């Protein structure tokens, strides 16, 4: 048995190579990428990566240059702009021009002080909300229903994709309809537990985060010029921040446990998610040290994946970043990372207890793939 999680790296890499390159198939990568995309929409699995856009418009150079003296004005001008250089040349006044022509007076808008948010602005916004309370409540209700509906839909799709993805990798296939149908009972149970866990996490964050936010707001507003100093020296505020961080860490551990441990256990035992959670807790209690080491391995793997993704994006002149943010295609491109991430947990859990060996279980019930 493999008690050390680092021992699962070699079989996970071998399985990744065989699943994706033995032989290579574009259709296989796209199919697996679609299943990973559904998991991403539900916040399950490895996640995704997106890049940023940093462009400085020409107007920024012009505004910066207008505030500099003649000796440094050329440093603020954008390069390769002949038109800018021509316009920047001094214009000679005509002979009949008035020599002592005074500069135009600044407009009231130019001399006005920057507007600062005041209590009057807050009262005005509050009055607008009260006058349009019916409209605001209606739009808020529609938005809330939409968010809840999309969350439920994506969680259902993501749960189905989790077990279809495990089945495809364990049997070296690339199918959607068959595992989607066969793994439906497991996925539906997993989906219900996921919704329940998300609800508990939101309630926990609300119970801790809302009072902390209200405390921070009142401390800053009532403290005047020393409000921020009073906030950073407030013990209750830091207790609330610690509570938010604690809820976040517990939520992260639960998410990792559901995906990395509960799902493989449930796939092997063909039981409900509740029973799989009970079996997983027993497995963790019996191998607590190995699971702590596994969390360290997960952190190292996440850092390595981030470095690989950034390197690929930079080496392709950011074209790789553009491809990664395209739905399905981005997940297909990152399939080596996705498959390794999934199989690392599968081989680790299977190495702790042979009853949870996904590969053995899949090979015992798999049917031959029909010839084309």
Task: For residue range 235-257, list pLDDT tens digits in order.
Answer: 999 999 999 999 999 999 999 99
Name beta bridge partners: 24. Answer: 21
pLDDT-derived band at 102, boundaries 50, 70, 90: low
pTM above 0.85, yes or no: no
Q: Between residues 17 and 70, which one has the greater pLDDT?
A: 17
Q: Between residues 188 and 66, which one has the greater pLDDT?
A: 188
Choose the weakest-confidence range: 100-109, 145-154, 189-198: 100-109
Whole-number pLDDT of residue 149: 94
Q: Is residue 7 predicted with pLDDT exceeding 80? A: yes
Whole-number pLDDT of residue 372: 33
- Section 20-37 average pLDDT: 94
Tell whether 103 is covered by a domain: no
Whole-number pLDDT of residue 363: 80
Tell whether 287 is covered by a domain: yes
Q: Is residue 278 predicted with pLDDT exceeding 60? A: yes
Residue-wise pLDDT tens digits, 287-339: 999 999 999 999 999 999 999 999 999 999 999 899 999 999 999 999 999 99
Residue 248 tokens, joined: 């976040």
Residue-wise pLDDT tens digits, 55-96: 333 333 344 344 444 444 444 444 444 444 444 455 555 555
Choose the weakest-confidence range: 46-55, 170-179, 267-276: 46-55
Q: What is the DSSP letter of 24?
A: B
Q: Is residue 130 predicted with pLDDT exceeding 60? A: yes
Tell whether 74 is covered by a domain: no
Whole-number pLDDT of residue 99: 47
Tell whether 369 is covered by a domain: no
Q: Mean pLDDT, the chain, as a whole number?
A: 82
Tell whether 30 is covered by a domain: yes
d(CA 133, CA 263): 45
Sign of CA dihedral 37, 42, 43, 45: negative
Whole-number pLDDT of residue 142: 95
Inter-residue contact 32 to 165 (CB < 8 Å): yes
Whole-number pLDDT of residue 61: 36
**What does the buried/exposed string (b/e) look like for 219-239 if buried means 16 or more CB atoms within 10 Å of the residue's CB?**
beeeeeeeeeeebeeeeebee
Please name which of 347, 33, 332 lies closest in space to residue 165, comparing C-alpha atoms.
Answer: 33
Residue-wise pLDDT tens digits, 199-210: 999 999 999 999
Whole-number pLDDT of residue 3: 82
pLDDT-derived band at 46, boundaries 50, 70, 90: confident
Whole-number pLDDT of residue 154: 95
Whole-number pLDDT of residue 219: 85
Q: Is residue 169 predicted with pLDDT exceeding 60? A: yes
Whole-number pLDDT of residue 350: 94
- Residue 210, classified by CB atoms within 10 Å of its CB into exposed (0-12), middle (13-18) or buried (19+), is exposed
pLDDT-derived band at 103, boundaries 50, 70, 90: low
Residue 298 tokens, joined: 């997960």
Number of structural domains found in the chain: 1
Tell whether 81 is covered by a domain: no
Whole-number pLDDT of residue 112: 53
Residue 207 tokens, joined: 């119970």
Name beta bridge partners: 21. Answer: 24
State which residues form the domain around 34.
Answer: 5-52+131-363
């Amino acid at each position: 048995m493999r008690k050390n999680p680092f021992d699962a790296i070699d079989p996970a890499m071998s399985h990744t190579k065989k699943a994706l390159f033995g032989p290579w198939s574009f259709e296989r990568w796209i199919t697996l990428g679609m299943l990973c995309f559904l998991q991403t929409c539900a916040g399950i699995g490895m996640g995704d990566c997106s890049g940023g856009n940093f462009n400085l418009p020409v107007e920024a150079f012009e505004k910066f240059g207008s505030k500099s003296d003649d000796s440094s004005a050329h440093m603020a001008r954008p390069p390769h702009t002949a038109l800018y250089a021509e316009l920047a040349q001094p214009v000679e006044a005509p002979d009949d021009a008035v020599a002592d022509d005074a500069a135009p007076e600044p407009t009231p808008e130019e001399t006005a002080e920057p507007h600062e948010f005041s209590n009057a602005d807050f009262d005005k916004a509050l009055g607008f909300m009260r006058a349009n309370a019916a409209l605001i409540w209606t739009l808020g209700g529609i938005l809330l229903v939409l968010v809840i509906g999309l969350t439920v839909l994506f969680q259902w799709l993501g749960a189905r994709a989790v077990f279809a993805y495990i089945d495809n990798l364990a049997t070296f296939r690339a199918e959607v309809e068959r595992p989607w149908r066969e793994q439906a009972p497991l996925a539906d149970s997993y989906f219900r537990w996921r919704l329940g866990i998300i609800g508990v996490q939101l309630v926990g964050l609300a119970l801790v985060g809302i009072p902390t936010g209200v405390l921070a707001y009142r401390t800053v507003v009532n403290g005047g010029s020393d409000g921020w100093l009073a906030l950073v020296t407030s013990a209750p505020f830091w207790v609330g921040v610690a509570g938010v961080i604690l809820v976040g860490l517990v939520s992260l551990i639960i998410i990792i446990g559901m995906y990395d441990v509960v799902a493989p256990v449930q796939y092997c035992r063909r039981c409900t998610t509740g029973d799989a959670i009970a079996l997983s807790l027993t497995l963790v209690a019996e191998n607590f040290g190995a699971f702590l080491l596994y969390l360290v391995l997960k952190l190292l793997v996440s850092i390595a994946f981030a470095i690989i993704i950034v390197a690929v994006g930079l080496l392709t002149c950011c074209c790789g970043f553009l491809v990664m943010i395209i739905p399905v295609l981005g997940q297909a491109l990152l399939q080596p990372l996705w498959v390794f991430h999934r199989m690392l947990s599968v081989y680790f859990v299977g190495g702790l207890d042979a009853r949870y060996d996904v590969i053995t279980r899949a090979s015992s019930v798999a049917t031959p793939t029909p010839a084309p």
